[in-house]
Amino acid sequence: MFIGENLTNLRIMHGYSRKQLSEQLGVTEQAVWQYENDYTSPKMQVVNELKRIFSVKSKYFYTKDMLTQHMTPANVNVMNIAYRSKVLNVISKTQAEAKHVEYLDTFVNYITAKVNLPTLNIIRLRDEVIDYLNRSEEDRTTQIYHVASMARKKIGMESCTNDNLMFLIEKSGVYVFEKAIGEKIDAYSLWTENHRPFIILGNMKRSAVRRNFDIAHELGHLLLHYRLEFVNLDRKEHKAIENEANLFAGAFLLPTEDFTSDIKGIAPHMTNPDHYLELKTKWKTSLQVLGYRAAHLGIMDAKAHRNFYAAMHRRGYLEKEPYDQSIPLQKPMRIKSIIDLLSTRGIVDVHQMIEEDWKAEISFFHQMTGIEIDFFKKYMTKEPTNSTNKIRNMPLRSS
């Protein structure tokens, strides 16, 4: 019997309205409604088209999907999604992303069901931040700077580099994934109801320095704006919250003492962006962020910052900066490492996971997780596979 809820889950995750899906299928919008509400079952021709659109097997639609089996009900709250974006949250887009995180959360539940994970460092940090903010009577900027310093120490960042930013964020317990979100949204983040933090990064040809700022920005939301209902913010409130996350990101990536010491070396040329290039390669942050941070610390006055920004514009650096392509892009590795480890130990059969348990194609997993297709292809034979991704001090214990 065709299960309409499975179709609804896929449709929402892909961001299709019933009308949009009906046009792809060549049926009426009413027919799609009937399929989803179990009034009628689609003909096999329609099922074949559905499997093509969503990259799943035909049998996906005839047994309860993995969301039903492994997802904690009401675990992803659409109200709590924080976008790094210049636009206010669009509810249809937010619903699609919430459904996508439901799939990701279900996937994490699936691959970690047979292992014991240690208490997440990010949860301890979040609780310390909440306690500090509840007790602090300092102004908001001082609070944000203090939280950024707390975060950098707790996550284990070295004092003078951001080289291992992605690895340390993932090691702390944040689940980071890539996705083609669209041109208007750089990234988003949220906590699930069972205290699992996610950061979803866009993959629209981002430079390494912009990605680093996206990661730090979303970490700021996770720590400063826990359980905030972002969907209900008006334009002014949304801008204020984004500015707080930006302020956190600058302070987190460029710690005050070390950055102030560095900036002294270019003091005579403060308004010339080209004199910041060495700092860009050291800190893996953009020229814009370096100037932004110098201005916030009062190292560069308002007039000098305007001149700096004007020089950026004249050189075309607001569109593309020097070294953008030469600094390596950090990519999420934690889930790949876990899959490799569990597969090598015989705890998870990835071939069975894809084809039998999830009843999907490799391209479905690529779209859901952002992990390249070739990573999954190596598991689609019955021959043993050697681990290619080391855990690098990520604790993981078999139960």
Give the integer Cα–Cα distance in Å for 343 and 321: 41
CATH number of 247's domain: 1.10.10.2910
Give the integer Cα–Cα distance in Å for 363 and 353: 14
Q: What is the mean pLDDT of residues 150-179?
A: 95
User: Would you state the pLDDT for residue 309?
Assistant: 96
Task: Give domain status of residue 271, yes or no.
Answer: yes
**Among 64, 81, 100, where does a domain finish?**
64
Is there a single domain that holds both residue 37 and residue 7? yes
User: Would you state the pLDDT for residue 84?
Assistant: 63
Sorted by sequence, the CB contacts under 8 Å of residue 254 that are 6+ apart come out as 283, 285, 289, 290, 293
Query: Is residue 86 very low, low, confident or very high in pLDDT (cuts 50, 70, 90)?
Result: low
Query: Whose CA is closest to 348, among 321, 385, 313?
Result: 385
Q: Residues 100-123: pLDDT tens digits?
A: 999 999 999 999 887 777 778 999
User: Would you state the pLDDT for residue 185?
Assistant: 77
Residue 243 vs residue 185, higher pLDDT: 243
Is there a single domain that holds both residue 215 and residue 120? yes
Task: Give domain status of residue 107, yes or no.
Answer: no
Query: Is residue 71 very low, low, confident or very high in pLDDT (cuts 50, 70, 90)?
Result: confident
Is there a single domain that holds both residue 180 and residue 236? yes
Is there a single domain that holds both residue 288 and residue 244? no
Task: Give domain status of residue 79, yes or no.
Answer: no
Q: What are phi and psi of 118, to 5 degrees?
A: -70, 165
Is there a single domain that holds both residue 123 and residue 247? yes
CATH number of 39's domain: 1.10.260.40
Q: Residues 216-236: pLDDT tens digits?
A: 999 999 999 999 988 888 889
What are the DSSP calls for 120-163, one per residue?
PHHHHHHHHHHHHHHH--S-HHHHHHHHHHHHHHHHT--TT--T
Number of domains in the chain: 4
Query: Is residue 386 very low, low, confident or very high in pLDDT (cuts 50, 70, 90)?
Result: very low
Q: Which two tokens stand for residue 279?
A: 């700092």
* Contact (CB, 8 A) for 355 and 58: no
Is there a single domain that holds both residue 265 and residue 212? no
Is there a single domain that holds both residue 248 and residue 130? yes
Q: What is the mean pLDDT of residues 41-55?
A: 97
Task: Give domain status of residue 176, yes or no.
Answer: yes
Q: Which two tokens stand for residue 280?
A: 């860009």
Is there a single domain that holds both residue 227 and residue 345? no
Task: Give domain status of residue 84, yes or no.
Answer: no
Whether 381 has a pLDDT exceeding 80, the answer reads: no
User: Would you state the pLDDT for residue 138?
Assistant: 97
Residue 384: HSE in the Cβ half-sphere, 13 Å Cα cutoff? 7
By percentage, how much of the chain surpasses pLDDT 90?
77
**Average model confidence (pLDDT) for the chain?**
90
Q: Residues 170-180: pLDDT tens digits?
A: 999 999 999 88
Q: What is the mean pLDDT of residues 64-81?
A: 86
Is there a single domain that holds both residue 230 and residue 290? no
Task: Give domain status of residue 380, yes or no.
Answer: yes
Q: What is the mean pLDDT of residues 56-62?
A: 97
The three-state secondary structure class of 17 is: coil
Is there a single domain that holds both residue 249 and residue 359? no
Task: Give domain status of residue 322, yes or no.
Answer: no
Q: Residues 293-345: pLDDT tens digits?
A: 999 999 999 999 999 999 999 999 999 999 998 999 999 999 999 999 999 99
Give the integer Cα–Cα distance in Å for 16 and 275: 48
Strand 115-116 with 185-191, pairing: unpaired
Query: Is residue 77 very low, low, confident or very high in pLDDT (cuts 50, 70, 90)?
Result: confident
Task: Give domain status of residue 280, yes or no.
Answer: yes
C-alpha distances in angstroms, 131 versus 126, 138, 187? 9, 14, 27
Is there a single domain that holds both residue 235 and residue 288? no
Query: Is residue 395 very low, low, confident or very high in pLDDT (cuts 50, 70, 90)?
Result: very low
Range of the domain at 262: 256-314
**Among 24, 44, 64, where does a domain finish?**
64
Query: Is residue 393 very low, low, confident or very high in pLDDT (cuts 50, 70, 90)?
Result: very low
**Among 45, 64, 83, where does a domain finish?**
64
CA end-to-end distance (rounded Å), the chain: 36
Is there a single domain that holds both residue 219 and residue 149? yes
Query: Is residue 391 very low, low, confident or very high in pLDDT (cuts 50, 70, 90)?
Result: very low
